[in-house]
Amino acid sequence: MFAFFAMGFVDMVGTATNYVKANFALSDTMANFLPSMVFLWFFFLSVPTGLLMNKIGKRKTVLLSLVVTALAMILPLCGYNYPMLLVSFCLLGIGNTLMQVSLNPLITCVVSGDQLASTLTFGQFIKAIASFIAPIIASWASVRFGNWLLLYPIFLAFALIATIYLWVTKIDEEIPKDRSSNFIQCLQLLGDTSVLLFFLGIVAHVGIDVGVNTCAPKIIMERLGLPLEKAGIATSIYFLFRTLGCFSGSFILSKFPLKRFFAVSVACMVLAMLGLLCCHTLVGLYIAIALVGFGNSNIFSMIFSKALLYLPEKNNEMSGLMIMGLIGGTIFPLLMGVLSDAMGTQVGSVIVISVGVLYLVYMATVFFKKEKV
């Protein structure tokens, strides 16, 4: 669970980006380059991580991911400048890629049967807590001590605890022979229309997630003139409702068909986009941010589960491909920065996010129409 908490550090990029932009007077394009450096690595390293995990084992791979994550927390404390932050964000992305691929499989070595699903769900809930408290800690540190960077040593402490705890914990696992698919085999699956549908759905989901995380405070600052310390609470609202969505999703999905819940989730995001485009009140913007947080909270798990069921004989390839879909966290912020700079308003960012939502609307209309999907 400490490792799942460390996995949530990746969501601090939205909060950090807003403070870095203000501290160094960056344009939206330059500022949004930071979160792009985090999610770029999911495309290149997800399959190689699977190969590495088969060679050294799940536990050692998770340990490596925690060490890299801890290093990412240390660097900004050694030198607070744009190049150092770029390196830190790259390391955060590399560590998170290693962790995303290896941590869930490691849980299967600890628990099994009915406990597995509940443990994984609880792990995602713990991860969401880290996402939720990051902007709160940064805002508190900025107001109380005039230095938002205090977020880094606090998160570093958790990363070190997780590293030491896992280092001294013995876990029985069987290291299999190398059966992982290679990069080309994964990409070849995109020739299947349904696989491409799933992959782009993951891209859209992560793009929306990182996009709202990054631009929500900017929208409030632009329309209401609030300082970043107060506007940053918008990120916490997003993650609060995403956390509530993760927690309630397992119960909802046990009572309602997945297709119906997917449609309801997307409908929440459509309403949210309308609110982000039109609202000029703090309450209205908060409601819109809450709606997209709740609506986007279970999209990944729904798409990922259906992707694995679609080609059960190619679980490894499908898993690697879906993780590579996290590249959406790189694509969306870059496009948002370019369009918002060109338009001179954060409406440009909302337009880019809305494109991702519209794709999920399209996906909802075709979801499960074909029997195999």
Confidence band of 373 (pLDDT split at 50, 70, 90): very low
The residue type found at 364 is A
SS3 179: coil
> Looking at residue 173, what is its pLDDT?
76
> Looking at residue 131, what is its pLDDT?
81
pLDDT surpasses 90 at 274 = yes
Average pLDDT over residues 356-360: 96
pLDDT surpasses 60 at 23 = yes
> Looking at residue 164, what is its pLDDT?
94
> Looking at residue 235, what is its pLDDT?
83
SS3 344: coil
Question: What is the Cα–Cα distance from 35 to 17, expressed in whole angstroms?
Answer: 7
Question: What is the Cα–Cα distance from 372 to 260, expressed in whole angstroms?
Answer: 17
Place of tokens 């509940």: 118
pLDDT surpasses 90 at 276 = yes
pLDDT surpasses 90 at 153 = yes
pLDDT surpasses 50 at 371 = no
Place of tokens 């107001």: 143
Q: How far is CA 215 from CA 9, 285, 360, in A?
A: 18, 12, 20
Q: Which residues contact 123 (CB under 8 A, 6 or more apart)?
A: 1, 4, 103, 104, 107
pLDDT tens across 160-178, in order? Answer: 999 999 999 888 776 655 4
Question: What is the Cα–Cα distance from 97 to 40, expressed in whole angstroms?
Answer: 10
pLDDT surpasses 90 at 13 = no
> Looking at residue 271, what is its pLDDT?
96
Confidence band of 110 (pLDDT split at 50, 70, 90): confident
pLDDT surpasses 90 at 73 = yes
How many of the other CB atoms lie within 10 Å of CB of 289? 29
How many of the other CB atoms lie within 10 Å of CB of 254? 7
> Looking at residue 30, what is its pLDDT?
80
Of residues 202 and 104, more confidence is placed in 202
DSSP string, 126-152: HHHHHHHHHHHHHHHHHHHHS-GGGHH
Which of 43-57, 67-81, 255-269 reaches the highest mean pLDDT? 67-81
2-366 belongs to which homologous superfamily?
MFS general substrate transporter like domains (1.20.1250.20)
Average pLDDT over residues 102-127: 71
Task: Indicate the domain borders of the chain.
Answer: 2-366
Min mean pLDDT across 9-13, 20-24, 250-254, 332-336 is at: 250-254
pLDDT tens across 289-325, in order? Answer: 999 999 998 888 788 777 767 877 776 677 778 888 8
Question: What is the Cα–Cα distance from 34 to 129, expressed in whole angstroms?
Answer: 22
Tell me 225's DSSP state.
Answer: -
